[in-house]
Amino acid sequence: MTRPSLKAILPFCLLAGCAASPLMPGGETVLLSKEPAHAECVFLGEVQGTQGDFWTADFTSDSNLINGARNQMRNAAYALHADYVKIETESLSHNTADHSLGGTYSAVVIGNAYRCGKELMAVEQAS
């Protein structure tokens, strides 16, 4: 499989952006953590975020891949009216078949979304 030339992919990167997926209004209120949710929090469902692919990998920073995946997960959690996500898995895929490529080419974050409420969120953020 051949990779597209810079001329072919550059307009896509400029238009679609090789930046992180945007955080939607309200998404910033969702706390991500690897710590379990408080026992009184209500489980709402599993959420995930992804960013990156083989075609845009060379034009997207590793940081933007990770932040974009986390932003997508926050957006999905906010859509469920969650305010807390316990991160279960973070996965970064690397170019290993062709050693001339290198770097991360996609990020996936999976977690469990909870509604904890303001009082419990204050406790979660303090710990």
Give the tens place of pLDDT for each residue, 56-105: 666 666 667 788 889 999 999 999 999 999 999 987 776 555 545 555 56
Distance CA 105, CA 112 (A): 24
pLDDT tens string 34-56: 999 999 999 999 999 987 765 56
Query: pTM value?
Result: 0.72
Q: How many domains does the chain have?
A: 1
Is residue 37 assigned to a domain?
yes
User: Beta strand 84-94 with 31-33: parallel, antiparallel or unpaired?
Assistant: parallel
Is residue 78 assigned to a domain?
yes
Alpha helices in the chain (DSSP H): 6-16, 62-79, 117-126
Is residue 85 assigned to a domain?
yes
Most distant pair of Cα atoms in the chain: their distance: 54
Q: What CATH number is attached to the domain comprising 75?
A: 3.30.110.70
Is residue 54 assigned to a domain?
yes
pLDDT at 107: 82
